Amino acid sequence: MKRNLSMLLVFLSIICFSQIEEKKLDELIQNTLKTFDVPGISVGIIKDGKSIYSKGFGVRSMNTKQAMDDNTLVGIASNSKGFTAVALAILADEGKLKFDDKVTQYIPEFQMYDPYVSQQVTIKDLSTHRAGLGLGQGDLMFFPEGGSSSVNDIVHNVRYLKPKNSFRSTLDYNNVMFIVAGEVIHRVSGLSWADFIEQKIMKPVGMNSSFGSYNRAKAANVSNIIEAHAPVDGKAVPVPHDWNETANAAGGIISNVKDMTIWAEFLMNGFTTKDGKKLVSDKQIQQLWNLQISTPVALKNPYDSNFGGYGLGWFLTDVKGHKQVYHTGGLIGTVTQFTLIPDLKLGIVVLTNQQSGAAFSTITNTVKDSYLGIADRNWLKTYGERMTKVNADYEKGKKEIFAKSETFKKDKNNQIKAEQIVGTYNDPWFGDVVISSDGKTFRIFCKNSPRLKGELLPFSPNVMIAKWDDRSYDADAFINFNMDENGKAVSAKMKPISDVTDFSFDFEDLDLTKKD
C-alpha cells in the first residue's frame, strides 16, 4: 500500500510539473514583448497529439495596431529548410532521386569553385551545410530583398564563391546551397519549389492557411499577416518585408502557429497525416533526423547536451537525455523558432515580428524546462540582462567608429579624393558596385541589389565607411581600397564595422575589382 501511494505521489508530481501554467505562460510572453521590444508574438504548443496552447500577443503591425493572434501569418524563414528536405525525401521515396546522387546529374551546368568538388557534391551535401561554403556566403545575391538575380543566376554564380573550408569538413550554415537543392526539386518534379511544397506537403498535412512564398500570400489578399519590425536607434520600427523569391527553398514559407503545430504533429507522428497517409518512409526519416555533420558542444551547457549538429533540414542535439530536433529562422524584422522533442511528443513554435532571438529563446526554454522537470530558471532575466549588455557593447563600438570618422573628416589632406576611387567595381558573383561623387559627398550603389545604397564616409587614408540609407539593416561596412603606384584604386575589400551585422550581409566575401 505504501509503495503504491509513493508511486502515485511521484506520478502526480510529474503531472503537476509537466506543463507550465497557462496564466504564467501568458504573463511570460507579455513580459517578453516588453523586455525585447517585440510588437507581436504567437506561440503554439502541441503535446501528445493535442494542441494545448495556441495564442497571439501584442500587435501584428505597429502601423495598424491590429492584434496578433494564432492565425496571423509570419515568414518562418529558415524553418522552411525542413520542408525542402522533406520534399527531397518524397522524391527519393518515389525513386526519382537519391540523397547521394551528384548534383550535376540533375543540374548539369552546376559548378563550384573547385572542379573536383563540382563533380562530387551531392544532394545530401547541399542540404547539410557541408559543401565548404562559409557562413552565409553568397547571400548578398538575394539579401536584402529587391535583388535582380534569378535562381539560375545563383546556380551559375556558385562557381565564383571561394570555399571557406575544405569539402565536407565542417558545418557552415549556408542558404545558397538550399537554393540549389530547391532547383533540384524543380527540375526533377517539373513543379516550382513553392508549388511542390503547397501541393505535396502542405495540402495533405492540413496546413491550409500556409503559403510557399510571401508573394503567394499577398496574391491571395491575406489580411492577417505581420509587418516586419527592426530596431533603429534602439527602438523597433516597421520595415519592409524582406525575402527574395529566388531564395524560397531556403526560407520563403509563410505560416502561423496553428499550421506549424499541425506540421509538428505530422513530423512526430512518423511523418504521417491525420488521415493516415505516410508521406515519408522510415528509411528516409532516418536520413533526415540522423546526424549528418557534427558541431562542437560546450562541455558545460544548460541542457547537459552531449552532441550537436545537422541532419537534413534540421539541427539536432540532446537535451537532458532526450533527442531534440529544431531550427530557427530569421529575416530582417522577424525571427522564428521551431522545436521538437519527439520522445516526449512535445512541439513548441514561437513566431515573432521583430528580430530578437532572445525573445523566442526565453519562451521556448521556459516551456521546454517545464516538461523536462527543470525548475524555473528565469530565462527572461538571463536573456534580458545579457542582451542589454551585448547591445550596449555593440552601440558603444559603432559610436567609437563613427566618432573616429568625424575626427578624420577634419584631416582634408589625407582623405581619399574622388579621382582615386570613383568608378565601377565588379565582383564575379555579386555584380557591379558603383562609387560616385558630386564633389561634396561620396555614394555607393549596388546594381544587382538596388536597396543596398548609401553614403561613403571617410575613415582613414584608404578606408571609407559605407553608411546604408536603410538604417534598419544595421550593416554599415568598411570599404578598404587597394591603390596602385599612382594612388588610384584597383580593387577593394569590405567587411561589417560591427559583429551585430547579420551574417547574410556577407561583404567580406566580395572581391571587388575596378572596371573603369
pLDDT in tens, 174-184: 999 999 999 99
Kindly state the cell numbers that stand for 120. 562530387
Q: Which residues, at least 6 apart from 108, have a Cβ–Cβ distance to it below 8 Å?
A: none
Residue 233 has pLDDT above 90, yes or no: no
Compute the distance between CA of residue 469 and CA of residue 279 in angstroms, rounded to an integer: 47
Q: Are 495 and 477 in contact (CB under 8 A)?
A: yes
Percent of the chain exceeding pLDDT 70 equals 97
Between 10-14, 178-182, 234-238, 254-258, the lowest mean confidence (pLDDT) is in 10-14
What is the reported pLDDT for 176? 97
Q: Are 107 and 123 in contact (CB under 8 A)?
A: no
3-state DSSP assignment of residue 197? helix
Compute the distance between CA of residue 389 and CA of residue 366 in angstroms, rounded to an integer: 22
pLDDT in tens, 458-491: 999 999 999 999 999 999 999 999 999 999 999 9
3-state DSSP assignment of residue 111? coil
pLDDT in tens, 385-439: 999 999 999 999 999 999 999 999 988 888 999 999 999 999 999 999 999 999 9
Please identify which residue in the block is written with the cell numbers 570599404.
479
pLDDT in tens, 131-187: 999 999 999 999 998 888 999 999 999 999 999 999 999 999 999 999 999 999 999
The band of 243, judged by pLDDT with boundaries at 50, 70 and 90, is: confident
Q: Which runs of consecutive H residues, i.e. helices, occur in 253-346?
A: 257-268, 282-289
| Cβ neighbours, 10 Å, residue 116 | 9
pLDDT in tens, 214-232: 999 999 999 999 999 999 9
Fold classified for 21-390: Beta-lactamase (3.40.710)
Compute the distance between CA of residue 14 and CA of residue 119 in angstroms, rounded to an integer: 54
Compute the distance between CA of residue 489 and CA of residue 478 in angstroms, rounded to an integer: 15
Domain 411-514, architecture per CATH: Beta Barrel (2.40)
pTM of the model: 0.94
What is the reported pLDDT for 10? 39
3-state DSSP assignment of residue 426? strand
Averaged pLDDT of the chain: 94
HEC string of 149-176 equals CCHHHHHHHHHHCCCCCCCCCCCCCCCH
Residue 17's alpha-carbon distances to 155, 231, 236, 348, 380, in angstroms, are: 50, 37, 36, 17, 19
Residue 2 has pLDDT above 50, yes or no: no
Closest residue by Cα to residue 189 from 197, 156, 128: 197
Q: Which runs of consecutive H residues, i.e. helices, occur in 314-463?
A: 357-372, 379-409, 418-421
Per-residue pLDDT averaged across 259-271, rounded?
98
| Cβ neighbours, 10 Å, residue 158 | 24
Sign of CA pseudo-dihedral 213, 218, 219, 223: positive
The band of 19, judged by pLDDT with boundaries at 50, 70 and 90, is: confident
6 versus 135: which is more confidently predicted? 135
pLDDT in tens, 406-421: 999 988 888 999 999 9
Peptide bond into 144 cis (omega under 30): yes
Percent of the chain exceeding pLDDT 90 equals 92
Q: What are the residue boundaries of the structural domains of the chain, listed by start?
A: 21-390, 411-514
Burial class (CB in 10 A: 0-12, 13-18, 19+), 282: exposed
Instruction: State which amino acid sits at residue 18.
Output: S
Residue 11 has pLDDT above 60, yes or no: no
3-state DSSP assignment of residue 415? coil
What is the reported pLDDT for 18? 53
